[in-house]
Amino acid sequence: MKAFFIDRYGKRHGRIGQLPDPEIRDNDVLVQVHTSSVNLLDSKIRTGEFKLILPYRFPLILGNDLAGVVVRVGPGVTRFKPGDEVYARPREDRIGTFAELIGVTEDALALKPRNLGMDEAAAVPLVALTAWQVLVETAKLKQGQKVLIHAGSGGVGTIAIQLAKHLGAFVATTTSTSNVEWVKALGADVVIDYRKQNFESVLQDYDVVLNSLGADVLEKSLKVLKPGGQLISISGPPTPQFAEEQGLSWGLKQVMGLLSYGIRRKARKLGIRYVFVFMRASGAQLREISALIESGAIKPVVDRTFPFESTADALNYVEQGRAKGKVIIKVR
């Protein structure tokens, strides 16, 4: 099969070539990938940023989102059959959606929303699961609560704004000047143009912050939260609790304790809970997200589409940080 893969870590590594078809285990579903989408996570994996947490083997096929058609199922699979149109974020230890075929565990897979084409469907899994696991699972966001979602025009931000509004929250977000009206149209109640305003001076008494940006924004976010509030970061620093959940070594647990010590201490002093969320695959949560998409509560946002041959260009485009919503790769 044709795939986009790396032979070693590095910012500009990656090429399209032929690799063996995936082997299918008992609870696996072999999917013919029609479309994938690019996430910043792909770039971070390519440069080796996660090699301590996720020790991948080479050659490593990149890609964390897919929409496609079931080709074959393992003997233990009960939920899917050949011909089903599906979408998924594969488990983090078995990524590789920038390829013509992939084996996905049954529990990571869901039927594609009926009202979406393959391109739009591939834009959903990773960012929607991230938003769900931050807002629904971790924050337990309730009607009437106030949430600040950083980077509202990004992949996670566009879905998180819509999900938070569906949950009945009051939503603030940050974005650049050119995207202010655009993110308002997604449902944001307050939009902070970070080129003209400091969000920490304007916002106060918030219940939840979803942070996807750097350490400076993370620290400033403490100022907008009320005591009892939650600062939830998907961009780090990771915590000892995360290391424990991942089953990482004692040494890595200590490292993560040191990395997050400063922000955890500052949050604790203010009576705020700091949590690091590393999105995990879940077909069950994708089924809930599918229902919201089919009801019209959430709509994926696609910025640009690239042919499979231009996967490297798609990665470079996403790294520039200017995409509105998701960037799609047409594999088939």
What are the tens digits of pLDDT across the range 295-306? 999 999 999 999
pLDDT of 53 strictly over 90: no
pLDDT of residue 65: 98
CATH number of 126-276: 3.40.50.720
pLDDT of residue 321: 86
The reply to whether CATH 3.90.180.10 applies to domain 2-123+300-330 is yes
> How far does the chain reach from its first CA to its final CA, in angstroms?
12
pTM: 0.97
User: Across the chain, what does the average pLDDT equal?
Assistant: 97
CB 3 within 8 A of CB 329: no
Residue range 147-182, pLDDT digits in tens: 999 999 999 999 999 999 999 999 999 999 999 999
pLDDT of residue 322: 85
Residue range 75-130, pLDDT digits in tens: 999 999 999 999 999 999 999 999 999 999 999 999 999 999 999 999 999 999 99
Contacts of 45 (CB under 8 A, 6+ apart): 54, 56, 60, 62, 95
User: What is the crossing angle of helices 155-166 and 125-132, to 10°?
Assistant: 50
Residue range 9-28, pLDDT digits in tens: 998 899 999 999 999 999 99
Cα pseudo-dihedral 169, 87, 46, 300, rounded to 10:
-40
pLDDT of residue 189: 98
Task: Average the pLDDT over 267-291 and give the result.
Answer: 98
pLDDT of 52 strictly over 90: no
Domain ranges of the chain: 2-123+300-330, 126-276
% of the chain exceeding 90 in pLDDT: 96
Task: Average the pLDDT over 223-247 and give the result.
Answer: 96
